[in-house]
């Protein structure tokens, strides 16, 4: 049989035996050492680590790249919401498309093969951002699977028009619905309304939640209750929940058991959570990043994600999930190989599970493959491994290659 592609000399297990990955019609046909076959295209991985790619479980493409339109004086969450609300009134479809596409291309080149983006839909943003992101989703499907979360950033109960707009978006291509109880005058009712939309359209739910350092100020119990009442376990995720960072480990584990029982996943956003939290402190500034590794140990599906890129919520970023994984490992003071592997899973297999996606290289599975310049997951996190290249459904989607050092003539 003539195969379409063979990727030779790849590692699929940490420090394991090199294997060849053969592809036919977009599907993995074989994963074997020294696989004897012919192929239209052959690539030598040269011992690189091969996996299914990174999964970006929480990003805001619609408001990326707007630093030049905003002012950052306080560096607080309230200021970020306020400045972005002002800026998005002027968003146009082509503008959003251009900024979002730039970030998506960075994500692709950084090895991301799945991506969940929130898109703000309300009377200020209208449907302009939504229309732009629908185009981005279609135009980059050759390299990355994008799902769109219709998102109520600025509340619902005080602005019923937003509810109707989310309803419409879910009928016109949005894949799931997202809420933000802490910006609503009635957080509990906000959560209930988001679940109403989820039930009506049979979609998953993703909340921005508890974005402060006060454990007493929490909307998590309401989300747990609504999830269990509607039997929506496995279809609900919460992002930030930074007040968990203010609790002792045993209290975190107790909450983790409730989340695991309810089937609620957690996403941490290290760059944003570090930037916006702890602004009232002049010394011993708290990190403000939820301890996702502790929750994972209790059975909670966890992920690490980018959140924002070059805006008032996060005035830096490059859509690199391996860099974000390394940042989290630093912040959480993790060092063991098992810890590094867990962190890697939070930007790959575990993040994909949060999104309801299958992850892993297997015969008969989708031939979506990314190569990293490392021996395995732990090294990838420790070294912020270079992303070499990737394929989507057997078709090469990008190639960065490896750096070359040019020595002077005559030197070994």
Q: How far apart are alpha carbons 177 and 148 in whole angstroms?
A: 8
Q: What is the mean pLDDT of residues 146-174?
A: 98
In this prediction, residues 385-410 reach a mean pLDDT of 96
406 pLDDT higher than 90: yes
The residue with greater pLDDT, 73 or 333, is 333
Checking if the pLDDT of 38 tops 80, the result is yes
Is a pLDDT exceeding 90 seen at residue 239? yes
Residue range 334-375, pLDDT digits in tens: 999 999 999 999 999 999 999 999 999 999 999 999 999 999
Model pLDDT, residue 1:
86
Quick check: 208 pLDDT over 80? yes
Query: What domains can be seen in the chain, in order of their start residue?
Result: 2-52+360-399 (2.30.40.10), 54-354 (3.20.20.140)
What mean pLDDT value characterizes the chain?
A: 97
- Contact yes or no for 139/169 (Cβ under 8 A): no
| CA distance linking residue 158 with residue 180, whole number of Å | 13
DSSP string across 308-364: -SSBTTBS-----HHHHHHHHHHHTT--SHHHHHHHHHTTTHHHHHHTT---S--TT
Given a contact cutoff of 8 angstroms between Cβ atoms, the answer to whether 92 and 128 are in contact is: yes
Grouping H, G, I as helix, E, B as strand and the rest as coil, residue 18 is coil
What pLDDT is recorded for position 377?
98
Closest CA to 106 of 369, 323, 277, 403: 323
Would you state the pLDDT for residue 399?
A: 99
Contacts made by residues 402-407, CB under 8 angstroms, sequence distance 24+: 402/373
Which stretches within 263-320 are classed as H helix? 270-276, 292-297
Q: Region 170-195: what's the mean pLDDT?
A: 98
Per the DSSP assignment, residues forming a β-bridge with 147 are 116
Q: Which long-range contacts (CB under 8 A, 24 or more apart) does 78-84 make?
A: 79/312, 80/276, 80/311, 80/312, 80/313, 81/153, 81/154, 81/183, 83/312, 84/153, 84/311, 84/312, 84/313
The mean pLDDT value for 291-305 works out to 99
Quick one: which of 79, 159, 72 has its CA closest to 124?
Answer: 159
The answer, yes or no, to whether residue 412 has pLDDT greater than 90, is: no
């Amino acid at each position: 049989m003539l195969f379409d592609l063979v990727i030779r000399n790849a590692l699929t297990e940490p420090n394991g035996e090199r294997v060849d990955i053969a592809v036919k019609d977009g599907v993995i046909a074989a994963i074997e050492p020294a696989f004897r076959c012919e192929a239209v295209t052959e690539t030598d991985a040269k011992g690189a680590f091969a996996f299914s790619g990174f999964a970006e479980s929480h990003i805001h493409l619609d408001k990326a790249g707007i630093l030049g339109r905003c002012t950052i004086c306080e560096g607080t969450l309230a200021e970020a919401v306020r400045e972005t609300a002002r800026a998005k009134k002027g968003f146009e479809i082509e503008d959003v498309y251009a900024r979002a596409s730039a970030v998506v291309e960075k994500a692709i080149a950084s090895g991301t093969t799945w991506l969940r983006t929130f898109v703000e839909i309300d009377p200020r943003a209208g449907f302009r951002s939504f229309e732009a992101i629908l185009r981005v989703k279609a135009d980059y499907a050759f390299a990355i699977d994008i799902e769109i979360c219709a998102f109520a950033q600025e509340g619902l109960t005080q602005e019923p028009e937003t509810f109707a707009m989310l309803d419409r978006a879910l009928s016109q291509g949005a894949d799931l619905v997202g809420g933000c109880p802490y910006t609503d005058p009635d957080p509990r009712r906000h959560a209930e309304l988001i679940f109403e939309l989820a039930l009506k359209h049979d979609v998953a739910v993703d909340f921005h939640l508890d974005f402060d350092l006060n454990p007493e100020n929490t909307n998590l119990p309401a989300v747990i209750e609504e999830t269990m009442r509607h039997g929506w376990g496995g279809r609900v995720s919460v992002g930030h929940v930074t007040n968990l960072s203010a609790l002792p480990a045993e209290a975190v584990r107790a909450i983790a058991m409730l989340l695991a029982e309810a089937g609620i996943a957690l996403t941490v956003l290290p760059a944003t959570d570090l930037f916006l939290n702890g602004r009232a402190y002049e010394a011993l500034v708290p990190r403000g990043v939820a301890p996702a590794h502790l929750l994972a140990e209790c059975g909670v599906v966890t992920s690490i994600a980018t959140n924002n890129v070059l805006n008032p919520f996060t005035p830096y970023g490059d859509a690199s999930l391996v860099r974000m994984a390394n940042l989290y490992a630093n912040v959480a003071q993790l060092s063991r190989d098992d810890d590094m592997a867990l962190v890697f899973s939070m930007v790959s297999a575990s993040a994909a599970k949060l999104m309801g996606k299958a992850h892993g290289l297997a015969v008969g599975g989708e031939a979506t493959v990314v190569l990293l310049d490392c021996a395995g997951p732990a090294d990838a996190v420790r070294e912020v491994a270079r992303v070499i290249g990737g394929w989507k459904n057997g078709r090469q989607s990008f190639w960065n290659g490896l750096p070359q050092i040019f020595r002077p003539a005559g030197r070994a």
